[in-house]
Amino acid sequence: MRHHDPMGGGRYYKLNMVLKKPEKGGRFHADKVIFSLFDRVILFRPDLYDHSVSRIEQGRRVLLSLAIHLP
């Protein structure tokens, strides 16, 4: 489901690292990203821009996600 993550103030950043991509589906979409490296390392602002992941149809998706909230 497309959504954004309101934080009520400050700046919120997420760094997602896809450790294992599914065979089919599970693709990340965002209205805007700060950078993306091979669709595996993605830095974006989840508080400002809508984002989602498509349905995983085959296999599984393993993700390491780091978040930081700055005042």
Average pLDDT estimate for 1-5: 95
CB 18 within 8 A of CB 39: yes
Q: What's the half-sphere exposure (Cβ side, CA atoms, 13 Å) at 9?
A: 1
Q: d(Cα 50, Cα 18) in Å, to the nearest integer?
A: 19
Query: What tokens appear for 32 in the block?
Result: 């805007």
Average pLDDT estimate for 45-71: 97
Average pLDDT estimate for 47-70: 97
- Is pTM beyond 0.85? Reply is yes
